[in-house]
Amino acid sequence: MEPMKPPKRLLPLVEEGLIDTVERQLMSGKEALVYVVQCAGQVRCAKVYKEATQRSFRQAVDYTENRKVKNTRQARAMAKGTRFGRQAQEAAWQSAEVEALYRLAAAGVRVPRPYNFCDGVLLMELVTDAAGNAAPRLNDLLFEPDQARALHGALLLEVVRMLCAGVIHGDLSEFNILLGADGPVIIDLPQAVDAAGNNHARGMLLRDVGNLRGFFGRFAPDLLATDYGGEIWDLYHRGLLAPETPLTGVHVRDTSDVDVGDVLLEIDDARLEEAARQLRMLPVR
């Protein structure tokens, strides 16, 4: 197959020698376009972030809470919604994924290895299957019960590793997990949040783990009776969580002091997740 003509957004990287050739478009999502590229003899992928006005994913304040910006001028502009502020917000949104990928890769979490970030383009590892083809997303696959339980357990370990590194994905589901040749790989992290610095961290962690339970529970219904999310957060909150910490899937909730605000947040999170799922199911134009 002949290489394609480099898209406009990738031309500067070709001219700088960061990309040799653009092989093909791999995916067109609501946040970014992804291309398979050749870099110094290595096959990689280039994630080209769309402009904020072209994307449909809502940069919810829940996700961006406590994210740092370079200076107070940027913070004021972002709060006012000026053109400069929107540009600063977009830059912060993109850099959040880059920073999360480097942080999680260093912690041993199964994410694509990042290589470079330039002009709104992220160069990173291309996750492949056993045949060397681009790895499929979980939502495109069917599993036997034992396979589902094994993958569910493997991904819980990745969630724990992420949390121990101080990061919560924030939008984890079968739509942003690839099944690579040697196991699942977590992708799409622009909405990743700081577990210690975000007031909505608990609700997001519970939702991420709940999404895994719901998906794999289709194939192994016994998983639907588990509460790994509550167990993981409780261990983390008490300073007892580590990647090697054994999990049981059982968590006894303390109902003596219910936080109504937290309950309402979880309801809102569920609504947002359903809205996001509906958006992902729409055909890409």
- Least Cα distance to 184 among 145, 218, 135 occurs for 135
DSSP letters, 45-114, are: EEEEEPPGGG--S---HHHHTT---S-HHHHHHHHHT-HHHHHHHHHHHHHHHHHHHHHHHHTT--SPPE
**pTM of the predicted protein model:** 0.79
Rounded Cα gap, residues 107 and 243, in angstroms: 10
Sign of CA dihedral 54, 60, 64, 69: positive
Q: Average the pLDDT over 13-18 and give the result.
A: 94
Q: In the CATH scheme, what is the code of domain 8-281?
A: 1.10.510
Using the predicted structure, report yes or no on whether residue 35 has a pLDDT greater than 90: yes
What tens digit of pLDDT does each residue of 128-180 get? 999 999 999 999 999 999 999 999 999 999 999 999 999 999 999 999 999 99
In percent, how much of the chain has pLDDT > 70? 73
Distance from chain centroid for Cα 22 = 25
Contacts of 78 (CB under 8 A, 6+ apart): 69, 85, 86, 88, 89, 92
Among 50-59, 63-72, 149-158, which range has the highest average pLDDT?
149-158
Range with the poorest average pLDDT among 66-80, 81-95, 101-115, 210-224 = 66-80
